[in-house]
Amino acid sequence: MLFNLNEFLIAVSFTLDFVEMDILGVTTNHGKRTAYTSLKISKELGLSSEGLYDIVALAILHDNGVSEKSLHDRFLIGEFIDVKSIERKKEHCTIGEENVRQYPFLTDVRNAIKYHHEEYNGTGYFNLKGDEIPLLSQIIHMVDVMETNFDLQNNNSDMQIEVMKFINQQKNKMFAPKIVTVFSNIAESKEFWLNLNNDYIEKALEDNTPKYSVELGFDKIGKITGVFSRIIDSKSKFTQRHSKDLSDKVAIMANFYCMGHDEKMKLIIAANLHDIGKLYVPNSILDSPSKLASEEFDIIKKHPYFTRIALQEIKGFEDITEWASNHHEKLNGQGYPFGKTGKELDFNSRLLTCLDIYEALTEERPYRIALEHEAAMEILNKMKDNGFIDVRITEDINHVFSSAIKELVLN
């Protein structure tokens, strides 16, 4: 399909901002503001159109490793770490670099994310100095530091003065002098500062970013979205393999139903991204060991809505968006968040729903241990009998996965 890179980037930035707000405490639209300012600097430095697209992509993706790093630290250190210190640890840089290897950049951007916290004077994590640091890393670093130290969405003339004072103080220390000089020229524009406001930043970024689409098969798109499924799952230790394991089960059932290759791959992509809206949900709710209060459950119930919002602007993702955002709908209209009925839910929406329930039941949760196949099927069968989920699919899941489990045990 003709894959619109810009549309996908906006979907990613929308959801990664939720991660950063929850884990790092940064303001909303951090990724978009970092991308927009990096784009303006890069344009002044004479980067090609392809390079301008790539700096936007890198700036949006620069902290994609934060979620996985936070999960890693919770396992090794315990639940009471200061997760805001993650931003200052180099592991998220190397994780982030590894994650974006499958992304279809248009130029050579190797190590741009790995080194995005290097200081110009050589005091960064990897001790690179001056022009040893990739130019794109230098740009993102300066903008990222500025964005995380100042509330730029509510900037005024006094703040603008403080920002410029800080930037110039760090010239030749944290930041490259040529980048400081270029930014100083950009900062003279009132339009630039206005565009950083939450009401205007998305349009400003969209209007200024070069437009690119690339012809990609669903296999390649599946690899790209597989990276984001890891980011999604890493938000909580209780979902660390949820999307990956769900996509594996989707593939098994697609083969069972003799689906065509493209339909199977679209279902896998939908499984990879079905919980992208869950990045909106705070970890305090996802990891709660006690029964959720009604207002907390109301927040949980919004996540398929945010999945739809994130994906619906991507052309060619119409089926994927539908299947992914319907995964908590029920045939009797008692699902969420849209309250759809059986007439509105196609076979693949029903399949993803049933498999998502099965997968969740067989995973550990803060309030219970993982269920064995038989116990999980008891719950699915009750839901089937009460008109919540598809009868045929429920029976097929029981047949396929009980057989698969027996085969694993025997071998």
Structure confidence at residue 81 (pLDDT): 42
Task: Assess whether pLDDT exceeds 90 at residue 278.
Answer: no
**pLDDT tens digits, 162-185:** 999 999 999 999 999 999 999 999
pLDDT at 239 (0 to 100)? 60
pLDDT of residue 407: 56
Domain-wise residue ranges, the chain: 2-214, 217-410
pLDDT of residue 99: 83
pLDDT in the model for residue 329: 98
pLDDT of residue 411: 42
Residue 98 vs residue 161, higher pLDDT = 161
Task: Indicate if the pLDDT at residue 237 is higher than 70.
Answer: no
Of the candidates 102, 101, 174, 168, the residue with the CA atom closest to the CA atom of residue 144: 174
The matching CATH number, chosen from 1.10.3230.20, 1.20.1440.230, 1.10.3210.10, 2.60.40.1120, for 217-410 is 1.10.3210.10
290-295: average pLDDT = 87
pLDDT band at 72 (very low <50, low <70, confident <90, very high): very low
- Whether the predicted pLDDT of 296 surpasses 80: yes
pLDDT surpassing 90 at residue 11: no
- Portion of the chain with pLDDT greater than 90, in percent: 65
Q: Which long-range contacts (CB under 8 A, 24 or more apart) does 289-295 make?
A: 289/366, 289/367, 290/367, 291/367
Q: What is the pLDDT of residue 64?
A: 80
Judge whether 2-214 and 217-410 match in fold: yes
Distance CA 5, CA 105 (A): 9
Q: What is the mean pLDDT of the chain?
A: 88
CATH architecture for the domain at 2-214: Orthogonal Bundle (1.10)
